[in-house]
């Protein structure tokens, strides 16, 4: 199904296609822990940015591969390009409107990124 999503101030808005039961990922790496966000990783083709391209700012660190995008106005990271899936998009399920009624949460050990990254590769294919 198609979900609508946005940042808090709604300057950034998007649509994403995902299963009715959303399969979210919880990661324990340094940035995910501090941001407290979950991940819904989809292929690029299932994501459509409706508005706000020019209202996004990018934060990078370490290898710089992940593009942590956030709204310049409200600071909310509603989606970004993850290092595990640079050909895909990771949507923050907390930014979907309305919230998915059903969601599973699987843990990803991002503290040991190198040995675990391949387990998420299929999500953007
Ligand atoms: Zn915003």
Q: How many domains does the chain have?
A: 1
Q: What is the pLDDT of residues 29-67, one digit of tens each?
A: 999 999 999 999 999 999 999 999 999 999 999 999 999
| Rounded Cα–Cα distance for residues 114 and 117 (Å) | 6
The answer to whether residue 57 sits within a structural domain is yes
- Residue 95: per-residue pLDDT: 97
- Residue 108: per-residue pLDDT: 97
The answer to whether residue 117 sits within a structural domain is no
Q: What is the pLDDT of residues 2-12, one digit of tens each?
A: 999 999 999 99
The answer to whether residue 71 sits within a structural domain is yes
Going from the Cα of 103 to the center of ligand 1, the distance in angstroms, rounded, reads: 24
Which structural domain, as residue segments, surrounds residue 67? 2-112
The answer to whether residue 123 sits within a structural domain is no
Going from the Cα of 17 to the center of ligand 1, the distance in angstroms, rounded, reads: 21
- Residue 65: per-residue pLDDT: 93
Going from the Cα of 87 to the center of ligand 1, the distance in angstroms, rounded, reads: 24
Going from the Cα of 115 to the center of ligand 1, the distance in angstroms, rounded, reads: 34
Domain harbouring 75, CATH code: 2.170.150.70
Section 10-26 average pLDDT: 97
Going from the Cα of 9 to the center of ligand 1, the distance in angstroms, rounded, reads: 4
Q: Are strands 96-97 and 2-6 parallel, antiparallel or unpaired?
A: antiparallel
Going from the Cα of 114 to the center of ligand 1, the distance in angstroms, rounded, reads: 32
Cis peptide before 98 (omega within 30 of 0): yes
Assigned token pair, 38 = 């979950």
């Amino acid at each position: 199904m198609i979900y609508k999503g946005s940042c808090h101030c709604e300057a950034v808005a998007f649509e994403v296609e995902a299963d009715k039961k959303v399969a979210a990922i919880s990661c324990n790496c340094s940035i995910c822990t501090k941001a407290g966000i979950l991940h819904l990783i989809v292929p690029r083709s299932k994501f459509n940015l409706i508005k706000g391209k020019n209202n996004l700012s990018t934060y990078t660190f370490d290898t710089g591969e992940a593009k942590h995008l956030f709204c310049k106005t409200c600071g909310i990271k509603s989606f970004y390009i993850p290092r595990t899936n640079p050909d895909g998009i990771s949507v923050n399920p907390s930014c979907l409107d309305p919230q998915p009624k059903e969601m599973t949460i699987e843990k990803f050990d991002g503290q040991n990124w190198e040995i675990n990254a391949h387990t998420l590769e299929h999500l953007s294919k």
